[in-house]
Amino acid sequence: GAVVSQHPSWVICKSGTSVKIECRSLDFQATTMFWYRQFPKQSLMLMATSNEGSKATYEQGVEKDKFLINHASLTLSTLTVTSAHPEDSSFYICSATDREWSNQPQHFGDGTRLSIL
């Protein structure tokens, strides 16, 4: 089945550093990838929708300059948390859709747990 790989799975860093998270579709081409944020014991909140070759569409309240998204190819999207602070600590999950079937469910990565000290 379709597989989405997310890396790293866990990262701890100091406040003020930038962290890059990668999301790859391993066996299909995904024109659209999604980035979610999940706080403990809460649901997933969509942060942005990333389309290959174009600028990401951010949800209301998500800072574009804080969460930089790049989707340079049909198999890779990256999320960079710039100048991270403790309040950015969260579980970040990416997903991707197969471009041929827009009605198909998204395939999710295993998530990245980000802890900012």
Partner 1 sequence: AQSVTQLDSHVSVSEGTPVLLRCNYSSSYSPSLFWYVQHPNKGLQLLLKYTSAATLVKGINGFEAEFKKSETSFHLTKPSAHMSDAAEYFCVVSLGDMRFGAGTRLTVKP
Residues near partner 1 (CB under 8 A) are 4, 6, 34, 41-46, 49, 91, 93, 95, 102-103, 105-111, 113
**Which is it for the CA torsion 32, 80, 38, 27, positive or negative?**
positive
**Minimum Å distance from CB 108 to partner 1?**
4
Give min distance, CB of 16 to partner 1, in A: 26
Q: Which is nearer to partner 1, 16 or 39 (CB)?
A: 39
* Closer residue to partner 1 (CB): 19 or 48: 48
Cβ at position 6, least distance to partner 1 in Å? 7
How far is the C-alpha of 24 from the C-alpha of 89, rounded, in Å?
22
Q: Which is nearer to partner 1, 16 or 105 (CB)?
A: 105
